[in-house]
């Protein structure tokens, strides 16, 4: 028996990296190789009989070739009008031309004109007839689209992940003892249970896409392993937080299904976020220079983590509002308020994450590099001010690139992180057998190196690539996105995760200055874990592959909902 366990452990050293690569490769393959076919929602017929498809829920008509429906006429403006489809299947036409669309759309109020099948609208001198898709056409359209999971079995990938987790548990249990041993084993058992429950739930709802969740659960199992080696006594807490994160993911995902409702709540959410930050500034607990904690009863919250969700939510917008200045100014004001509050709190890393996300959102909204450069210049000045005012931030910048010159001072954390990571080699010294976890903040700020030490560089790189894959997935989904709300939300959520990851990994490895942010899903810390699951919901909501996402209504059920008066929500 002893012998068998030993063989298994030696095997696990090798099996873990192999399984990690395998799981990740399957997820990436499935996300990126699956067919993302265009959808057709309605047709526009010109007077000469040519037809143009409305392929999204929001389509722009204009002279510019980059419009969804280009109309090459001098009397049509470059961005002339927007067609918007509601969840209920009603189409509205908004004018952006300043009154050159006929049929009496009031342009000043921003209210649109409802379009009915067969209605004729005039754009400049061009007359076009609107054709909604008939029931039969819609059914044929959906029949044509393929369902994900046909390329690779999602359950198979999850099974591989479960084997990975079991081997990881085995390694940890060998090292730990007493209560920590039991709790770790129970923790992982619960994780496996949770991921299979989620999987079965998805299947029960006829949803076939499970790559995002698999990637997230892979990262969470690394997080649990980190927790087991650094603070095994916190295992039950970590599991509770994980459940809370998954719950938030499901709730937010379901909430985002309804575009109209989602949009309606943007500003109330923005207000709540600001209140959160004001409370933080006023009542925050000071830790390592930053006052980014808020104690509420027995819980210690990091408000900036939840503000991330609000920020993505508020930053995303649909096309009909995109071209209104007031909307953009409000968003810029909101961004400035958040970054300002974070500067006051002294959370430089979080401020940086928000700033990069701001750049992505404002670029996606305006498409203007000029705006982005202006923002960068402004932030550069602000950053300079922060550096001059906050000495501990300046100190970290000064150590950047020279950590080995001062391994007992400014380079304390990075040198230890690098040394431990190198000791791990490609396959690691074994889960729970490293020493980096004894160094302060190793399980949060330096978690990449901690994983690299204990599980090896290959697994650590898998974790990085997993997050990068999420970004690629978001961009691919964007191509078939229905509303710009979902596309902007998914891309900015992915950007936020990638930025956070980059600051974490590169900060601890001295490729960037050390900013002390968390590794998505892996770093220990409740607020961060929960908010990462929340961000994942934005990605899930943009997944328009046929029947892939629980956050997108099923085609058949949607049709049923559209025929009735009220919207049918997920009561199944």
Partner 1 sequence: MKRIKTRAWAALILAAALLFGTGVYVWRFAVNGRYWVGFSANESVYQNGALAVGVVTDRNGVVLADVKDGARVYADGAETRIACLHAVGDAAGNIGTGALSAFSDRLSGYSLFSGASGKGGSVTLSIDAELNRCAWEALSGRSGAVLVSNYETGEVLCMVSSPSYDPNVGFDAEDPAYEGVYLNRALSAVYTPGSVFKLLTIAAAIERVDDLYTRTFFCDGSREVNGHILTCSGVHGSQTIEQALANSCNCAFAELSLELGAKTLEQYADKLGFTRQHSLSGVYTAIGSIYAGEEGSAELAWSGIGQAADVICPAALLRYVSAIAGDGVLREPSLVLGESGGRTRLLSADTAEKIKAMMNYNVVSSYGEWRFPGLTKLCAKTGTAEVGDGTSHAWFAGFLDDPERPYAFVVVIEHGGGGLSAASPVANQVLQKLVEENNK
Does position 43 interact with partner 1 (CB under 8 A)? The reply is no
Q: What minimum distance in Å lies between the beta carbon of 300 and partner 1?
A: 30
Segment interacting with partner 1 (CB under 8 A) among 129-137, 290-298, 503-511, 543-551? 503-511
Which pair of structure tokens corresponds to residue 8? 């298994």
Closest CA to 519 of 501, 497, 499, 494: 501
Among 148, 434, 513, 516, binds partner 1 (CB under 8 A): 434
By C-alpha distance, which of 204, 161, 142, 190 is closest to 30? Answer: 161
Q: Hey, which residues between 123 and 182 contact partner 1 (CB under 8 A)?
A: none
The single-letter DSSP state of residue 404 is G
Strand 69-70 relative to strand 58-62: parallel, antiparallel, unpaired?
parallel
Q: How far is the CB of 286 from partner 1 (least distance, A)?
A: 28
Taking contact as CB under 8 A, which single stretch among the options 60-68, 137-145, 269-277, 547-555 is the one that binds partner 1?
Answer: 60-68
Q: Are 93 and 82 in contact (CB under 8 A)?
A: yes
- Spatial separation of the C-alpha atoms in residues 504 and 292, rounded to whole Å: 17
C-alpha 323/C-alpha 71 separation (Å) is: 19
* Angstrom distance (rounded) from CA 366 to CA 351: 22
Nearer CB in complex with partner 1: 235/447: 447
Rule CB under 8 A: say whether 336 interacts with partner 1. Answer: no
- The CB-of-468 to partner 1 minimum distance in angstroms stands at 5
Q: What share of the chain is helix, strand, coil (3-state, %, to 5)?
A: 60, 10, 30
* Distance in Å, CB of 402 to partner 1, minimum: 14
Give the residue, chosen from 103, 425, 556, 563, that forms a contact with partner 1 under the rule CB under 8 A.
Answer: 425
Among 292, 499, 523, 549, binds partner 1 (CB under 8 A): 499
Interaction of residue 290 with partner 1, rule CB under 8 A: no
User: Residue 25 or 475: which CB sits closer to partner 1?
Assistant: 475
Q: Is 367 in the site for partner 1 (CB under 8 A)?
A: yes
Min dist. Cβ of residue 10 to partner 1 (A): 12
Rg (CA), the chain: 25
What 8-state DSSP symbol labels residue 518? P
Q: Does 506 bind partner 1 (CB under 8 A)?
A: yes
The phi-psi region of residue 545 (left if phi > 0; otherwise alpha if psi is between -120 and 50; otherwise beta) is beta
b/e for 527-538, b at 16 or more Cβ within 10 A?
A: bbbbbbbbbbbb
CA distance 39 to 41: 6
Nearest distance from residue 461's CB to partner 1, in Å? 7
Q: Does residue number 42 form part of the binding site for partner 1 (CB under 8 A)?
A: no
Residues at the contact surface with partner 1, assessed by CB under 8 A? 55-56, 58-60, 66-68, 319, 356, 359-360, 363-364, 367, 407, 415-416, 418-429, 434-435, 438, 453, 456-457, 461, 464-465, 467-468, 471-472, 474-475, 478-479, 481, 484, 487-488, 491-492, 494-495, 498-499, 501-502, 505-506, 509, 511-512
């Amino acid at each position: 028996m002893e012998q068998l366990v030993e063989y298994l452990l030696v095997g696990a050293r090798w099996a873990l990296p192999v399984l990690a690569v395998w799981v990740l490769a399957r997820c990436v393959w499935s996300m990126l190789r699956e067919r993302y076919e265009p959808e057709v929602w309605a047709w526009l017929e010109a007077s000469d009989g040519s037809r143009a498809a409305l392929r999204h829920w929001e389509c722009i008509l204009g002279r510019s070739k980059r419009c969804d429906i280009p109309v090459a006429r001098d009397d049509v403006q470059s961005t002339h009008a927007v067609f918007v489809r509601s969840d209920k299947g009603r189409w509205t036409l908004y004018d952006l031309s300043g009154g050159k669309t006929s049929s009496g759309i009031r342009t000043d109020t921003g209210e649109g004109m409802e379009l009915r099948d067969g209605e004729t609208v005039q754009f400049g001198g061009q007359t076009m007839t609107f054709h909604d898709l008939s029931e039969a056409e819609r059914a044929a359209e959906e029949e044509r689209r393929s369902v994900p999971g046909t390329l690779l079995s999602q359950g198979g990938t999850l099974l591989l992940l479960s084997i990975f987790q079991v081997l990881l548990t085995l390694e940890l249990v060998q090292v730990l003892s007493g209560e920590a041993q039991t709790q770790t084993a129970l923790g992982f058992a619960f994780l496996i249970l949770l991921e299979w429950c989620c999987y079965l739930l998805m299947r029960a709802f006829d949803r076939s896409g499970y790559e995002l969740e698999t990637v997230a659960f892979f990262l969470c199992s690394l997080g649990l392993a980190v927790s087991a080696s650094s603070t095994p006594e916190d295992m039950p807490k970590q599991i509770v937080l994980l459940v809370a994160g998954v719950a938030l993911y499901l709730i937010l995902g379901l909430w985002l299904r309804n575009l109209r409702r989602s949009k309606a709540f943007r500003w109330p959410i923005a207000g709540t976020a600001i209140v959160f930050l004001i409370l933080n500034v006023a009542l925050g607990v000071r830790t390592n220079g930053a006052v980014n904690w808020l104690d509420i009863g027995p819980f210690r919250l990091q408000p900036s983590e939840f503000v991330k969700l609000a920020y993505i939510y508020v930053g995303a917008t649909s096309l009909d509002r995109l071209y209104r200045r007031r909307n953009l100014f409000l968003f810029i004001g909101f961004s400035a308020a958040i970054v300002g509050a974070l500067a006051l709190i002294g959370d430089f890393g979080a401020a940086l994450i928000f700033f990069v996300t701001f750049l992505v959102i404002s670029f996606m909204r305006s498409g203007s590099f000029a705006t982005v450069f202006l923002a960068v210049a402004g932030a550069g000045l602000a950053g300079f001010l922060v550096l001059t005012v906050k000495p501990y931030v300046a100190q970290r910048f000064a150590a950047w690139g020279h950590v080995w010159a001062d391994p007992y001072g400014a380079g304390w954390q990075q040198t230890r992180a690098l040394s431990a990571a190198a000791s791990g080699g490609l396959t690691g010294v074994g889960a729970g057998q490293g020493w980096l976890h004894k160094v302060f903040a190793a399980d949060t700020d330096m978690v990449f190196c901690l994983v690299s030490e204990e599980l090896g560089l290959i697994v650590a790189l898998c974790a990085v690539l997993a997050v990068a894959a999420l970004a690629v997935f978001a961009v691919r989904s964007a191509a078939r996105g229905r509303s710009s709300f979902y596309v902007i939300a998914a891309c900015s959520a992915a950007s936020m995760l990638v930025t956070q990851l980059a600051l974490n990994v590169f900060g601890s490895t001295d490729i960037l200055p050390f900013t002390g942010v968390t590794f998505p899903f892996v770093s220990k810390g409740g607020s961060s874990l929960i908010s990462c699951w929340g961000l994942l919901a934005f990605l899930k909501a943009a997944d328009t592959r046929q029947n892939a996402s629980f956050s997108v209504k099923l085609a058949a059920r949607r049709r049923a909902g559209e025929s009735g008066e009220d919207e049918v929500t997920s009561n199944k």
